[in-house]
Structure 1
Amino acid sequence: MHGSQLIGDRYRKMTGPASGAMADVWTVEDTKLGRTVALKFLARRRLTQQGALTEFVASTVRMFEREGLAMARINHPHVAHIYDTGEHEGELYIVMEYVEGRPLAELLKTGTIRTLEPTVRWTRQICEGLEAAHKAKVLHRDIKPDNIMITQDGDVKIVDFGLAFLADVTQTHTSAGTPLYKAPERWNGEPGSQRSDLYSVGCVLYEMLTGRPPFGSPADDVMTIGRMHQDDRPAPPSAHRPGVPPQLDAVVQALLAKDPARRPKSAQAVADAVRDIQHVLDSMDLGESAGEEDLPELLGGSAGFSEAIRALDRRISDLDRRFGPSDQAVIDARDKHAELTGQSGDVRGAAALYNRLGLDCQAFFGPYDVRALNAFEGVARWIARAGNR
């Protein structure tokens, strides 16, 4: 794609591409509407030049076309929108919403567990987005951390419907998918169902809670992973992470049932169950122990821990963008965020947040800076509380 040439008479290249095996994604300007969008090119010519079989290229084209059809059917705040499709210099493209944020996979790649509040919130939002897709008769079939974007506001956007199955369109069944998150029935070549997507949600939720997928690792043999999905039962998340509420253990176990009929009946049912867990945090009284004198200003009134933590998430993100990560206001907000996380009952999450803060303060200010030492004191304090439970 030539830098000075408009795509479809309206799209001008800004940055990119981010290249995958079968497609390239550019950040482009929509010159007609004056907004930034993402433009995804199918790398059909590159696949052919690399010697890919004609049947494989043709199948890839069909998948790419299905992605556009699938995304066009769905209108939901937690699913990336599609704006346009077209062809340029013999290559097909899709124009999509530009999501400013990071893939969940990037947040998980260190193996660090996520705190409970965003884990519960993101799971609910994933399921709400999937419910909209399922109502539009679209199965995603590749729910995984790489395909879940976390925006700068801390919300979910489901992306990449490249393996989508349109339930009312005749097409060739495929067993493609990502092994670590693929439902047992799909290992037998079945196209899957709504409940197959929910199994993948269970795998993602398990990884957010424990820092590891329920079965295998990226280094394992694919068939070994498949056998584990079909035959093994994972330990509940609380076995790896004490403090996980039993209600959340139960949701994970239901999502990871081997028999699809034993899984929740819909994504909305899971969203409702997770919302009830989130309400446990929301209904808690902050009181004076929270140490948040400015919470009324932050939240516009009284609120529970979940909303307070979410508000601090937004404040930290805003301050970081404005002043940089080493600014004292950012450090103070992160300290409050860790403390509130512990007081909400997520003592392991509080220790993890304080540990990251301590390591960052050492990098910013030196190994013996008081801010780093205070953060590591927070680690010890919350670990001690975890041991007393």
Structure 2
Amino acid sequence: MSAQDRLVADRYRVESRLGSGAMGVVWKAWDERLNRTVAVKELHLRKSASDADVQAMKRRAMREGRITARLMHRHAIAVYDVVEDDGRPCLIMEHLASRSLDAVLAERGTLPVAEVAKLGADVAGALAAAHDAEIVHRDIKPGNILVAEDITKITDFGISRAMGDASTTGVLAGTPAYLAPEVAQGGKADFRTDVFSLGSTLYAALQGHPPFGLGENSIALLHRVAAGDFEPPADGGDLTPVLLRLLATEPAQRPSMRETADALAAVADGRPLPESFTAVPAAPPKPEPAPTPAPPAQPAAQPAGEPSKRRRYGLILAGSLLVVGAGFGAAVLTGLLTAEDIAGPLAPTEQPRPEPAPAPSPPPQPAAPQTPESVVSEYYALMPEDIDAAWQRLTPDYQTNHAGGYDAFEEFWDPVESVQTSAVSTEGPNTAQATVTYHFDDGRVVEEPTRYTLSRDGDTWKIAATTVLSSSTR
């Protein structure tokens, strides 16, 4: 689908291109049956795909459609349908004439407290409904919030996952500046990480930048996010205690998305905050100091210059042992004693010469030690020809919770024609970074700087987590 005025599924006429991402291209189109404007998301499919490939892509489209179609909310972009065009799966979505919050902030810099609270309450309401439907968005940021004249909506659940639904990618996705600390450390995204990302987005709307700042050095940014330290918002008014709860480093201290929506609505309406957002949590009790052990009893004083009886015997015994030990050790080291000689005095005969000890065999040379850099390089060197061997380079947790199982892993790599790595470097004792360039069968080239966390498995390292720092398609 490349030309305008093309009719998709005998119903949706393409008008213009709206944008593109890792999974496909989004077009503005006209629904000739219902006479309304829609957005058509065409999922990538290689030109030479076999019947099995087509069926796999259809399953992926249906899976994404099922996930997003669960969500019907006034402040979320809706998915209407899943269709095929020349065998290509396409999602038909709601079209909203709007600008992203990112574009609004680029123009205005910051927004007033009441406006941020109203915008946040609308988005949090939609995300609360998503969480009720077991959907985690995973990439909440200003670029995924659409602001129209009379409404605000959250969009792009393209990298979201239903809890328990298989992943369709082999990497952890998200935008570094808006990630929760536990995700920046390689953990899983869940409902509480969505709460943190929404807090980061609202902080950016209020302050003009996300809590941990921005910068070209994604690794340094991830380290700041992982540490969880940031400056409280200045002049945030009643929004400040809400943001501090949303941005709590410990996930358990964050409110639910439903509680978040209620608190933001209260700020927007000028009502008092719920008590849970105003009460200061009690500090954990300090542990009682361990009792100081009593000093050992002192022995009775002895006359000056006169050692005690125990000390005299101790000195005599120690001296005897030193003499005997020194003599015995010297004899053994020079080879003068045999097992028979140890039992009695040395015979006054010529001492036998010791047999020369055989030369020790050289120790086996150890294999070159693995480094995070070498682990990443070796992993991609296997792809895409030897998927089975590459699969064994992943931890069981990564295989299940990040790759989504072997079938999803294979499905992700199936349309990849080749892959190269560059700028591979070891960042820490168990972390590395590399720029990965994927060449797809349909002609796309996707470049993704990625951070890797490794885990020791016996004598080898395995990939335990991946974080895509940015992604570009050409």
Pairwise CA distance, 1:171: 3.9
Q: Is the 1:66–1:164 Cα contact (8 Å) retained in structure 2?
A: no
Among candidates 261, 264, 288, match of residue 252 of structure 2: 261
Pairwise CA distance, 1:103: 0.7
Q: Is the 1:64–1:162 Cα contact (8 Å) retained in structure 2?
A: no
Pairwise CA distance, 1:89: 2.7
Alignment partners' CA distance in 1, 2:58 and 2:223: 31
Listed one character per residue, the Cα deviations across residues 73-92 of structure 1 (whole Å, up to 9, x for unaligned) are 00100011111112223432
Change in 2 beyond 3 A, CA 1:216/1:227:
same
Residue 159 (structure 1) aligned with residue 155 (structure 2) = yes
Alignment partners' CA distance in 2, 1:78 and 1:275: 14
Alignment partners' CA distance in 2, 1:215 and 1:61: 40
Aligned counterpart, 1:74: 71
Change in 2 beyond 3 A, CA 1:63/1:214:
farther
Residue 201 (structure 1) aligned with residue 198 (structure 2) = yes
Aligned counterpart, 1:33: 34
Q: Is the 1:111–1:212 Cα contact (8 Å) retained in structure 2?
A: no
Pairwise CA distance, 1:102: 0.7
Pairwise CA distance, 1:60: 9.3
1:225 aligned counterpart, secondary structure: helix
Alignment partners' CA distance in 2, 1:182 and 1:259: 13
Q: Is the 2:116–2:206 Cα contact (8 Å) retained in structure 1?
A: yes
Alignment partners' CA distance in 1, 2:193 and 2:133: 16
Q: Is the 2:4–2:16 Cα contact (8 Å) retained in structure 1?
A: no
Structure 2 spans left out of the alignment, 5+ residues: 273-474
Alignment partners' CA distance in 2, 1:259 and 1:69: 32
Q: Is the 2:61–2:82 Cα contact (8 Å) retained in structure 1?
A: no
Change in 2 beyond 3 A, CA 1:59/1:138:
farther
Listed one character per residue, the Cα deviations across residues 62-119 of structure 1 (whole Å, up to 9, x for unaligned) are 8765432221000100011111112223432110001111111111124711122221
Listed one character per residue, the Cα deviations across residues 258-283 of structure 1 (whole Å, up to 9, x for unaligned) are 1110111x11101111122122279x
Aligned counterpart, 1:294: none
Change in 2 beyond 3 A, CA 1:109/1:187:
same
Listed one character per residue, the Cα deviations across residues 101-158 of structure 1 (whole Å, up to 9, x for unaligned) are 11111111247111222211000011100001000000000001111101221x2111
Change in 2 beyond 3 A, CA 1:281/1:260:
closer
Residue 107 (structure 1) aligned with residue 98 (structure 2) = no
Aligned counterpart, 2:226: 230
Q: How does 1:215-364 map to 2 (within 5 A)?
A: 215-217=212-214, 219-238=215-234, 242=235, 244-245=236-237, 247-264=238-255, 266-280=256-270
Aligned counterpart, 1:144: 141
Alignment partners' CA distance in 2, 1:121 and 1:103: 16
Aligned counterpart, 1:307: none
Q: Is the 1:11–1:31 Cα contact (8 Å) retained in structure 2?
A: yes
AA paired with 2:245? A
Q: Is the 1:22–1:43 Cα contact (8 Å) retained in structure 2?
A: yes
Listed one character per residue, the Cα deviations across residues 300-345 of structure 1 (whole Å, up to 9, x for unaligned) are xxxxxxxxxxxxxxxxxxxxxxxxxxxxxxxxxxxxxxxxxxxxxx
Residue 118 (structure 1) aligned with residue 115 (structure 2) = yes
Pairwise CA distance, 1:14: 1.7
Q: How does 1:149-188 map to 2 (within 5 A)?
A: 149-153=146-150, 155-171=151-167, 174-188=171-185
Change in 2 beyond 3 A, CA 1:188/1:63:
farther
Aligned counterpart, 2:380: none
Identity between Structure 1 and Structure 2 (%): 36
Alignment partners' CA distance in 2, 1:188 and 1:59: 32
2:27 aligned counterpart, secondary structure: strand
Structure 1 spans left out of the alignment, 5+ residues: 50-54, 283-389
TM-score calculated relative to the size of structure 2: 0.52
Pairwise CA distance, 1:59: 11
Alignment partners' CA distance in 2, 1:8 and 1:228: 48
Q: How many residues align?
A: 267
Higher normalized contact order (CA 8 Å, seq sep 6+, divided by chain length): 2
AA paired with 1:9? D
Alignment partners' CA distance in 1, 2:188 and 2:58: 19
Aligned counterpart, 1:374: none
Aligned counterpart, 1:130: 127
AA paired with 1:200? S
Residue 89 (structure 1) aligned with residue 86 (structure 2) = yes
Pairwise CA distance, 1:22: 3.7
Alignment partners' CA distance in 1, 2:89 and 2:13: 16
Listed one character per residue, the Cα deviations across residues 211-259 of structure 1 (whole Å, up to 9, x for unaligned) are 0111131x33222111111114111111xxx3x21x3111111111111
Alignment partners' CA distance in 1, 2:93 and 2:42: 11
Alignment partners' CA distance in 2, 1:101 and 1:9: 27
AA paired with 1:253? L
Change in 2 beyond 3 A, CA 1:225/1:62:
farther
Question: Higher strand share goes to which structure?
Answer: 2
Residue 211 (structure 1) aligned with residue 208 (structure 2) = yes
Alignment partners' CA distance in 2, 1:98 and 1:144: 19
Alignment partners' CA distance in 2, 1:163 and 1:253: 27
Aligned counterpart, 2:463: none
2:89 aligned counterpart, secondary structure: strand
2:229 aligned counterpart, secondary structure: coil
Alignment partners' CA distance in 1, 2:56 and 2:261: 34
Aligned counterpart, 1:325: none
Decide which structure has the larger Cα Rg and report it. 2
Alignment partners' CA distance in 2, 1:17 and 1:151: 16
Alignment partners' CA distance in 1, 2:36 and 2:55: 33
What's the Cα RMSD here? 2.8
